[in-house]
Structure 1
Amino acid sequence: MSAIPATEDEKRGSGAAARGRGPAPGGSRPARTARTAGPVGPPRGAWTVLVLAVVVGAGAGVGSIVFRWCIRTFTLLLSGHSDYAASPGAANPHVPWLGPYFVLLAPVVGGLLHGPLVNRFAKEARGHGVPEVMLAVAQRGGRISPKVAVVKTLASALTIGSGGSVGREGPIVQIGSALGSTLGRLTGAAEGRMRLLVACGAAGGIAATFNAPLAGVFFGMELILGTFSAEAFGATVLASVTASVIGRAAFGDNAFLNLPGFHVGHLSQYGLFALLGVVAAVVGVGFARFLYVIEDFCDRLWRGPEWLRPAIGGPALGLVLLALPQMYGVGYPVLQRATEGGYAAGFLLLLLAGKMLATSLTIGIGGSGGVFAPSLFIGAMLGSAYGIGVHHLLPGSAGAVGAYALVGMGAVFAGAARAPITAVVILFELTGEYSIILPLMLAVVMATAVSRLLSRDTVYTLKLRRRGIDLEGPVPGAPLGAQRVGTVMEPLPAPLPAATPPADAAGVLSRSDHGALPVVDGAGAYVGVVTARAVAEALAEQPDAAPETVGRLAEPPAAVTADQPLTQALHALLAAVGGGVPVLDAEQGRPVGWLSHQGALRAVHTTA
């Protein structure tokens, strides 16, 4: 996970080593509140970030209003309806003589407009957007071109308005993130702050789009930032709340879906929900794979200029829309009806397959839009069909069909994106019912676990890996990261016996070049690491409350092995409180060396 470095103001502040890392995985207990006089509160740098977070949230909220207005306008112009999925199969009043066949031409017209726009001004605006934001945060210091916000708004609105079966959350995430990155550059924010502002933009976009401020917060931290800390939480909350307030002022305080009431009437339903989570994982992973199979197929077929690709591929999407007009646009009216039990099981499965095909074709031919809403759509169809099935098999204990639709939405998204916290929170916010939490958490956890077994990647990271980019691996061309830990580690410091009293350990640590030392038990087995901070805290406690040995203070940090790439070990190193972490033998798990910040930097000097 990425660490957020502190500003110079924070470094000069109270003396606490607040580098935005959060608590160390290995060691000490939380620091006590200092008993000193003086002002209490965040340092000046933290206040600056909070103010910027509010500005980014406001920008994301306004961007959401503009984006939704563009979608509605282009949908009216190209289909004659504010949301064609609510009137599937109807004629376009602008060209009534075409009847329902206008859907064959709408994607072509939209492609002729957004294809050249994307190709000329911002190629990264093509596709579903979230992977590009994740890449910018992980490997590019949070830098996103400001052109992306404008191009993504127009391109995605044209794609959705002309029938593209994609979501609006991916575009608004990219739009909000571009605004956050631009503000960071204008204010001269450090790289860590830039990443945080990008996450704030993403959080604000999700919050305003779904009227779900909590989901926006966890989306920003879980998927975009990849870390949880007090500073990140505070900033994303401010951005999310600000965007939600602006969104509610424009659209009202209503969820984008009016979902049915939810309750668990029989304990046996929990087993059914767990099984639904397993099935949803298979469907979610299958959706991610199918998406890129279709994209590969379109890549092999097309040999012309990229700007023309969406228009030439438009008729293929039009044929799908002609057969299943419910696939036009985002499809919230269809999703709404499915949760209310308005479709038969067979038609629900047809809609599920149709959404997979329509979304994949939209992305494959060069369209711009998100996959979050399609995954919710697919989950609702799966859950509703599953609910109808179990209701016929177990009519006395299965419960309402709508309950399975709600849980299916969260479980399929969790299986595809592997973001369980976001999945649980957004469905909770959409329903407003606490009773959904237990079955939803059960299904989402099952979906996430099975998804990990089935696939290394998510629907977002798979796009990057296909381009040779590993978010957890070394950045191509970077001077630091590709080396193996074994080539840069230092000799292992003499370990402390677990039976050493804290007072004796203090003397050893005071003479050591490291702020931490490994600890071994009486048999020589590795126990963990004890930090100078943990020993100092123990010595400051009442004698009868303090631990008697350092073995009670030692905790193992995140495991670092000699055969790991340095880029993976840096996450554990940055999170460590002391001056380094032990390097373990991959087979036996015993310490064989020591990795420090200085040792990692020496690798750059050696390879230079």
Structure 2
Amino acid sequence: MTSADLTDSGSDPRQRALSRALPVQLGRERLLTTLRGSSTGLLALSLLVGAGAGAGAVVFRWLITSFTLALSGHADYAGLGHVANPHVPGLGRWFVLFAPVVAGLLYGPLVHFFAREARGHGVPEVMFAVARKGGRIAPQVAAVKALASALCIGGGGSVGREGPIVQIGSALGSTLGRVMQVSEERMRLLVACGAAGGISATFNAPLAGVFFAMELILRDFNGQAFGMVVLASVTASVIGRAALGNQPFLHLPAFTVDHLSQYLLFALLGLIAGVVGVGFTRVLYWIEDACDWAWRGPEWLRPAVGGLLLGGLLLVLPEMYGVGYPVLGNGIAGKYAIAFLILLLVGKAVATSLTIGIGGSGGVFAPSLFIGAMLGAAYGQGLHHLIPSAAGPAGAYALIGMGAVFAGSARAPITAVVILFELTGEYSIILPLMTAIVLATGVSHLFSRDTIYTLKLRRRGVDLDEPGAAGLPFVTGTAGQVMEPAGESVTQNRTLIEAAQHLRRSTHGQLPVLDDRGCYRGVISARAVADALADGNHDIAVVGDHVELPQTIRADQHLDDALDVLENAPGGVPVLDAGGAQVVGWLTHQAVLTAVRPPRPPMVSPIVREGTDPEAT
């Protein structure tokens, strides 16, 4: 029977409604199938991701400006020196002691409780998601990263905005891929499109966005991927220029090469920059390790307490406040003496490392450019004192130093060349820039196995260059497929003594706590009960007074996402149903190991030779 027959029959309203809805449903399914599987659909999704990343970059930059104005009283405090905050003039220049603390009190809990992967500089998390997780990034990362990084930078955090916008754009691409239920290959490509769009819009550098995504995120070049990333980058750049204007994020002087002998000077700068780039990487993780060793309190409070250290540094060197583009421009323009340039170089490395170490959120791309510019400017001014007739303008060495230090730390030579070419618009910079960047990259390879991005992953035991890294067998399925049974639970009105009896039989050292309606409220742990009963005064205390709220996962959550939660849990993690109301199981390290352990080969019975006794054998 056709839909027309159903309509003509007219006796059953449900049949008539079905006949009207059927063509719409079929059309929607065809559209979804086209978007998921065809080249035209991939093109459309790439454009959508680019548009989203462009809009995200505009909002993110607005957030940075708004929070900087709120916490410092100025649109960009870095280049103003020791000036007061007009919002709190009574504090004078001392307000910088408290700006990072206030910001940390806001973004610390936000990151800890809603998206812990938003901590740090962001790019390693995106690289890991593409290489090991099929491009899956939690959807809330975009919002949390934008707010946390904007608060961190606005409160004086000496970090860049490229890491956050890469993670924001990538999270948008991953979320769209999940909604459309695309394949993992396409999911990874959409993540790269989001990263390219973010870089393109925030720096007004569409070519740099493309090569950043291809060289660092996808780490692979092919025709289709390149085309889609270009489309996303161009789309984001158009939106960024429409909202922010067609101006580069930094105004740089014209580049000239006066003598061929200067190529040798640029080459020497490249060698020095490679060492400085590796040194910046080492300092970053040394300070982060020191902060990890020193801090013993709750992680959500760490940015606020550590903000006092950062504030003390800003009080001495206010040029380190925020990203620091005005200071970067002044250094390239030759407004600082050599000694102060070196102080700014060291100060930026320490301030950025401290910001990341205390739990801040922001990128290391802009700081590496800053360090390179200070190095190059100091190097150029030094040459003017030594060989004034052959040195050339000091600003030229600052431009080369920017690209060379970034290449030495991130080991992305193509991106380094392209972004400096886009920023200057000078073709004459290409040859000396390529010379310095290639040498800086070579020095980086010589002194370090890892880059500033991959070292963070290797410290977790992740090697992106390991064969087969993109498709590990144990990151498939859902938490519900490997979880252990829920077992016993207790209600919030039970006494601690009664809870202790149940905990003796628990294999997890904790029990789910249910409210009066039978819904999940939290957990009660054996340690909490033992501590409460130790003084003998809590015999009549009830479970509800000692409920803990650990992180939970849903039964339908992808196992790879669940492992991120399990990694930070001391024991088992409660698994809830889709509505988050009932405990349906526990995810434990043992359950995951049991699920991923390859099956044992079948036992081979011994061969019984003719004429022997099988029992004796």
Partner letter of residue 231 of structure 2? L
Q: Is contact 1:199–1:224 with CA below 8 Å preserved after alignment? A: yes
Partner letter of residue 452 of structure 1? H
Which one of the candidate residues 117, 126, 142 is aligned to 1:124?
117
Give runs of aligned pairs for residues 27-66 of structure 1, distance below 5 A. Answer: 45-66=38-59
Which one of the candidate residues 321, 325, 329 is aligned to 1:328?
321
Distance 1:183 1:606 in 2: 40
1:478 aligns with 2:472: yes
1:460 aligns with 2:453: yes
Q: Is contact 2:132–2:470 with CA below 8 Å preserved after alignment? A: no
Q: Is contact 2:104–2:303 with CA below 8 Å preserved after alignment? A: yes
Partner letter of residue 414 of structure 2? I
Which one of the candidate residues 348, 358, 378 is aligned to 1:355?
348
Counterpart in 1 of 2:482? none
Which one of the candidate residues 248, 271, 288 is aligned to 2:281?
288
**Any idea what the Cα deviations from partners look like across 1:70-125, whole Å, max 9, x if unmatched?**
10010000000000012121100001111110000000000000000000000000
1:271 aligns with 2:271: no
Q: Tell me, which stretches of 5 or more residues in structure 1 are unaligned?
A: 1-8, 10-41, 482-602
Partner letter of residue 176 of structure 1? G
Give runs of aligned pairs for residues 496-507 of structure 1, distance below 5 A. Answer: none
Q: Report the Cα offset of residue 475 of structure 1.
A: 5.0
Counterpart in 2 of 1:209? 202
Q: Is contact 1:480–1:604 with CA below 8 Å preserved after alignment? A: no
Q: Tell me, which stretches of 5 or more residues in structure 2 are unaligned?
A: 1-29, 476-596, 603-617
Q: Is contact 1:101–1:322 with CA below 8 Å preserved after alignment? A: yes
When residues 264 and 607 of structure 1 are mapped into structure 2, their CA distance, relative to the original with a 3 A threshold, is farther
Q: Is contact 1:61–1:244 with CA below 8 Å preserved after alignment? A: yes
Give runs of aligned pairs for residues 580-599 of structure 1, distance below 5 A. Answer: none
Partner letter of residue 121 of structure 1? F
Distance 1:114 1:236 in 2: 31
Q: TM-score, normalised by structure 1?
A: 0.72
Q: Report the Cα offset of residue 363 of structure 1.
A: 0.2
Q: Is contact 2:131–2:470 with CA below 8 Å preserved after alignment? A: no
Counterpart in 1 of 2:339? 346
When residues 105 and 44 of structure 1 are mapped into structure 2, their CA distance, relative to the original with a 3 A threshold, is closer
Secondary structure in structure 2 of the residue aligned to 1:396: helix
Which one of the candidate residues 361, 378, 390 is aligned to 1:385?
378
Give runs of aligned pairs for residues 366-377 of structure 1, distance below 5 A. Answer: 366-377=359-370
Counterpart in 2 of 1:219? 212
1:313 aligns with 2:318: no
Structure 1 segments of 4 or more deviating over 3 A?
A: 474-481, 603-608
Secondary structure in structure 2 of the residue aligned to 1:425: helix
Q: Report the Cα offset of residue 476 of structure 1.
A: 11
Q: Report the Cα offset of residue 391 of structure 1.
A: 1.5
**Any idea what the Cα deviations from partners look like across 1:389-438, whole Å, max 9, x if unmatched?**
11211111111000000000000000000000000000000000100000
When residues 44 and 470 of structure 1 are mapped into structure 2, their CA distance, relative to the original with a 3 A threshold, is closer
Distance 2:256 2:79 in 1: 28
Distance 1:607 1:104 in 2: 64
Which one of the candidate residues 413, 420, 445 is aligned to 1:420?
413
Distance 1:312 1:476 in 2: 39
Counterpart in 2 of 1:447? 440
Q: Is contact 2:271–2:436 with CA below 8 Å preserved after alignment? A: yes
**Any idea what the Cα deviations from partners look like across 1:317-362, whole Å, max 9, x if unmatched?**
0011011000000000000111111100100000000000100000
Distance 2:85 2:330 in 1: 22
**Any idea what the Cα deviations from partners look like across 1:203-246, whole Å, max 9, x if unmatched?**
00000011000000000000000101111110010000000000
Q: Report the Cα offset of residue 604 of structure 1.
A: 7.7
Distance 1:221 1:412 in 2: 20
Q: TM-score, normalised by structure 2?
A: 0.71
Distance 2:419 2:599 in 1: 47
Paired residue total: 449
**Any idea what the Cα deviations from partners look like across 1:361-404, whole Å, max 9, x if unmatched?**
00000000000000000000000000001121111111100000
Larger-Rg structure: 2
Distance 1:276 1:287 in 2: 16
Distance 1:283 1:56 in 2: 36
1:395 aligns with 2:382: no
* Higher RCO (C-alpha 8 Å, min separation 6): 1
1:407 aligns with 2:400: yes
Q: Report the Cα offset of residue 468 of structure 1.
A: 1.2
Partner letter of residue 289 of structure 1? R
Which one of the candidate residues 139, 143, 155 is aligned to 1:150?
143
Give runs of aligned pairs for residues 490-569 of structure 1, distance below 5 A. Answer: none
Q: Is contact 1:479–1:604 with CA below 8 Å preserved after alignment? A: no
**Any idea what the Cα deviations from partners look like across 1:228-287, whole Å, max 9, x if unmatched?**
111111001000000000000111111011100011110010000011000000000000
**Any idea what the Cα deviations from partners look like across 1:463-493, whole Å, max 9, x if unmatched?**
1111111112265993499xxxxxxxxxxxx
Counterpart in 1 of 2:60? 67
Aligned CA-pair RMSD: 2.1
